[in-house]
Amino acid sequence: MYHSQIKGLGKYVPENVVTNHDLEKIMETSNDWIVERTGIQERRHIEPGDDNSTAVMGCKAAKQALERAKVDKDDVDLIVFATLSPDYYFPGCGVQVQEMLDIDTCPALDVRNQCSGFIYGLSVADQFIKTGMYKTVLLIGSENHSGGLDMTTRGRNVSVIFGDGAGAAVLQRTEDHDHAVLSTHLHSQGKFAKELSLVSPSTEHWVDDIIEEAPQENPDYYPYMNGQLVFKNAVVRFSEVIMEGLQTNQLSPKDVDLFIAHQANLRIAQFIQKKFNWSDDQVYNNIQKYGNTTAASIPIALTEAWEKGKVKSGDHVVLSAFGSGFTWGSAIMKW
């Protein structure tokens, strides 16, 4: 019986640090408001003119993950790329990374599940490995949010939260069930699709409209978020899907060695921590430094936790996410 195992992790964040105090200079906000409501102190933004993009950052994280996994790029059987901020409308970032890594041919798949993108991608990778179809999958989550945020007071409830960055994981086939992904659990509820969304530009609001409507003037061209509804649903769904994963594997919350939530908001992560009675040692958060990096947040946090020695062989690691769609999911792993 085949299982998948994470063999290597990588991350990349742009050098440009944008603090809450920097934001105070360009919109009506305050360090106190942002820290109190979200826990965020700073985030990274691509600087105009530097060579970064969603695909480029994803490729940098992927190279580090491949190197650490000691896997040659030509052994990659499948690339899965999760993002809500692709470089192009089409094709997806997966094929761009394939070209950047100089992989001649292999399937490349883009996943569009926003904050749950990495969990959805992990589940896709895991299924392909479990069926025996592929041996090695390169999974990437990457976002360039800063290029599309409303950095004025009008957009402050969204723009202060999000940051840029990328994370990656190399998954490989193993027959060792004791060091593998144990299960993944996915959900979505489309009735809330517009509650956290970017509806334009799109095939409904095409290029002529953009030119005529002066996009900077029109809030439809920036992400919309019903923050309180997102918060209320997130705390319920996070709890449900973590329990679903634990019960599937006959585990209890006290068996968890490390929990990493999608870094949406420190208050949400703290609520979950309290609910499951986890100590600070059992939970890893880094939203304080990077903000919410959507599909990249879990692989960045997991990579950082691993770099700090917080993930050890045999540990039960729980990942969970909630976000736009609404979509949510969890993954239970034994490291």
β-strands 136-143, 78-82: how paired? parallel
**Closer residue to ligand COA, CB minimum distance, 7 or 45:** 45
Which range binds ligand COA by CB under 6 A, 44-52, 69-77, 152-160, 283-291?
152-160
Is 262 considered catalytic here? yes
Q: How many CA atoms lie within 13 A of 214 on its CB side?
A: 1
Q: Which of 3, 45, 185, 262 is catalytic?
A: 262
Separation between Cα atoms, residue 101 and residue 139, nearest integer Å: 14
CB of 237 to ligand COA, least distance (A): 11
**Closer residue to ligand COA, CB minimum distance, 148 or 227:** 227
Q: Is 239 in the site for ligand COA (CB under 6 A)?
A: no
CB of 171 to ligand COA, least distance (A): 24
Size of the site for ligand COA (CB under 6 A): 20
CB 128 within 8 A of CB 137: yes
Q: Which of 233, 265, 292, 316 is catalytic?
A: 292
Closest to 73 in 3D by CA, of 49, 105, 103, 106: 103
**For residue 260, what are the β-bridge partners?**
319
Helix intervals (H) in the chain: 20-24, 31-38, 54-69, 93-100, 117-130, 156-159, 207-213, 227-248, 266-275, 287-290, 297-307
Is 145 considered catalytic here? no
In the set 93, 160, 169, 186, which binds ligand COA (CB under 6 A)?
A: 160
Q: Is 115 in the site for ligand COA (CB under 6 A)?
A: yes
CB of 232 to ligand COA, least distance (A): 9
In the set 82, 103, 129, 230, which binds ligand COA (CB under 6 A)?
A: 230
In the set 16, 17, 37, 288, which binds ligand COA (CB under 6 A)?
A: 37
Separation between Cα atoms, residue 130 and residue 109, nearest integer Å: 17
Separation between Cα atoms, residue 155 and residue 2, nearest integer Å: 47
Q: Is 271 in the site for ligand COA (CB under 6 A)?
A: no
Is 115 considered catalytic here? yes
Q: Is 33 in the site for ligand COA (CB under 6 A)?
A: yes
Burial of 38 (0-12, 13-18, 19+ CB in 10 A): buried
Site string for ligand COA, 180-219 (x = CB under 6 A): ----------------------------------------
β-strands 108-111, 17-19: how paired? unpaired
Separation between Cα atoms, residue 258 and residue 332, nearest integer Å: 10
Q: Is 253 in the site for ligand COA (CB under 6 A)?
A: no
Separation between Cα atoms, residue 163 and residue 143, nearest integer Å: 8
CB of 79 to ligand COA, least distance (A): 24
Q: Which amino acid is at 270?
A: Q
**Closer residue to ligand COA, CB minimum distance, 133 or 229:** 229
Burial of 324 (0-12, 13-18, 19+ CB in 10 A): buried
Question: DSSP assignment of 316-329, as one string?
Answer: EEEEEEEETTTEEE
β-strands 327-334, 3-12: how paired? unpaired
**Closer residue to ligand COA, CB minimum distance, 41 or 172:** 41
Q: Which of 106, 115, 233, 285 is catalytic?
A: 115
Q: Is 231 in the site for ligand COA (CB under 6 A)?
A: yes
**Closer residue to ligand COA, CB minimum distance, 19 or 157:** 157
Q: Is 38 in the site for ligand COA (CB under 6 A)?
A: yes
Supply the residues annotated as catalytic.
115, 262, 292
Q: Which residues bind ligand COA (CB under 6 A)?
A: 29, 33-34, 37-38, 115, 156-157, 160, 225, 227-228, 230-231, 234, 264-265, 268, 292, 323
